[in-house]
Amino acid sequence: MKLYYAPGACSLSPHIALRETGLEHSLQKVDLKTKQLDGSGASFGAINPKEYVPALQLDDGQVLTEGPVIVQYIADRKPEAGLAYPAGTIERYRLQEALNFITSELHKAYSPLFSATAAPAWKDGAREHLAKRFRYLSGFLEGREYVMGKQFTVADGYLFTVLNWSNFVKLDMSPWPVLQAYTARVAARPRVQEALRAEGLA
């Protein structure tokens, strides 16, 4: 498998999943500004017409896109790693519920904060939205080691990735010490450290 990624972007989530499972893979860095592959200058659009990461090229040449789908695919390739629950179980649906919340209520809410052209009012609205979601998430994670309880899953790799963006957009997380402790706990995992180092983030 080959993961197309950009350092620190949402592609860090499947990168963490690949490291946690130990599945054989290679990495291809993408320049998100030029939409070209690092090193060759080839068009990333030829791999993923959506022109955003992550994209996972399978061994048979097919390409999967969309982070929540990719991480579940990776987890299902090595179920003994425990990154996802068996299909059809209520735990799997709870995991998908968590992934959907992260992608729709957190991930996309950061977009204005990364934009150089977004109006100040739009950015203020994004901060207010995120603060509301952080309040909910802080209560949800109170007393939990990970999103699903004691078991680290693909939801944690994704949530860690998104919460970590606060450092890049100067979003003060001190009002939510539970989230700060959670982020530090995930960051301390050896395989997460491997992924961060590989992307030049540690």
- 179 and 133 Cβ atoms separated by less than 8 Å: no
Among residues 169, 134, 15, the alpha carbon closest in space to that of 83 is found at 15
Q: What is the mean pLDDT of the chain?
A: 97
Give the number of domains in the chain: 2
End-to-end CA gap in the chain:
24
Supply the CATH number for residue 171's domain. Answer: 1.20.1050.10
**Among the residues of the chain, which ranges form H helices?**
12-21, 67-77, 90-101, 111-114, 120-141, 154-164, 177-187, 190-198
| Average pLDDT value for residue range 82-101 | 98
Q: Look up the domain containing 107 and give its range.
A: 90-189
Coil, strand or helix: which one is 28? strand
User: Does 140 share its domain with 68?
Assistant: no
- Do residues 19 and 47 both lie within one domain? yes
Query: Are residues 77 and 94 both part of a single domain?
Result: no
The pTM (predicted TM-score) of the whole model is 0.97
Predicted confidence at residue 202, as pLDDT, reads 85
Indicate whether 100 and 121 sit together in one domain. Answer: yes
The two structure tokens encoding residue 171: 């979003």
Mean pLDDT calculated for residue range 73-84: 98
Q: What is the structure's pLDDT at 104?
A: 97
Q: What is the largest CA-CA distance in the chain?
A: 47
Both 75 and 126 in one domain: the answer is no
